[in-house]
A = this chain, B = another copy of it.
Amino acid sequence: MEKNEALKFEVIKKDKKTGARLSVLHLPHGDVEAPVFMPVGTQATVKSMTPEELKNEVKTSLILSNTYHLYLRPGHELIKEAGGLHKFMNWDRNILTDSGGFQVFSLSDMRKITEEGVEFKSHIDGSKHFISPEKSMEIQNFLGSDIMMAFDECAPYGASRKYVEDSMNMTTRWAKRCKDYHKNTENQALFGIVQGGFYKDLRKQSAEDLIKLDFPGYAIGGISVGEPKEEFLDILRYTAPLLPEDKPRYLMGVGTPDYLIEAVIAGVDMCDCVLPTRMARNGSALTHYGKLNMLNACHEHDFTTLDKDCDCYTCKNYTRAYIRHLFKTQEILGARLLSIHNLRFLVKLMEDVRQAIRDDCLLEFRDSFYKKYGYED
């Protein structure tokens, strides 16, 4: 390396049976132990949470924020003016921003994709916008995130081989343009994103082409997009080992406990998902004994805690009966208490996974977790 780079990746230990990695990402806003689950703060806030709660209750040191949303509101210029995203949202630990690509394709109206970039209409007010790889870099540079993602197209599940192949090749060309544009590598690490849908040869080609571009980290995009679990696992287990041993591997948009555990076993270091906070706002709790719908009548007179194996603020202080009351009466505190719990649940799951790697018992940990949780497989 010619100069000081934003990310230094250190593999501490591997699980003997699976090869799953325990590692540390040394980043501008502190060290992050991996495997790690990243809470999502779409609009410069992890929904319902303060930064202090993320630090002290959830115990997280890396969150994700969405370039597409921040570009539309409040705008990346305003965030730059505020001194960057960390300062704007009062978060002094690390932030990863996505490229905006996924949301442009999944949320906006009237997309027109060309080699140059994507024209789209805002899902908020219908206004027209254009994001190119260079524009995505500019936005993420203005936001000042610690890890940035290259602008990619995530081909929809079920797309033809021809579509996926063309899209994957364009994503590689876009990745090159992102790397050429991005100069602030001392403060912001840029990851490439492997695409290729559910075609293994395309995944292989995508990985090889991106590795040639030498990114400090690599993501796996375009899986966990609605496919059956076997297909997910098949592509995950094929793709992860294609990526360099000495760089972090990030599986995008994954957040159920079983997908997280399987991802780590496959060699993944980082995951993110809106699932824990979205479930929380709908009154659903993740627990070691399966999912709970807090609106169910069975909780009405239940004065026990949500999850007796959880160490979070909610589980230490409140009963199921009270949490149910908060959801029945649509009180904001209900969403807050379940958000803290669900986020802590997944962050703690990754802490336990790291301990299992330390102890060389990741498969045993998985089996016992699945049994308690009630998973079939």
A residues with a Cβ closer than 8 A to B are: 43-45, 47-50, 69, 73-74, 78, 81-83, 88-90, 300-301, 303, 317-319, 321-322, 324-326, 328-329, 331-333, 335-336
Contact = CB atoms under 8 A, between A and B. Distances in A.
B82 A50 contact: no
A74 B300 contact: yes
A47 B334 CA distance: 10
B82 A303 contact: yes
A43 B331 contact: yes
Contact of A43 (B301, B319, B329): B329
Contacts of A332: 47-48, 332, 335-336
Most buried by B among A73, A319, A332: A332
Contact of A336 (B50, B81, B300, B325): B50
A47 B321 contact: no
A48 B336 contact: yes
A88 B324 CA distance: 12
B90 A317 contact: yes
Contact of A300 (B49, B78, B300): B78
A331 B90 CA distance: 15
A90 B301 contact: no
A322 B74 CA distance: 9
A46 B37 CA distance: 32
Contacts of A50: 333, 336
A294 to B, nearest CB: 13
B329 A90 contact: no
Contacts of A47: 331-333
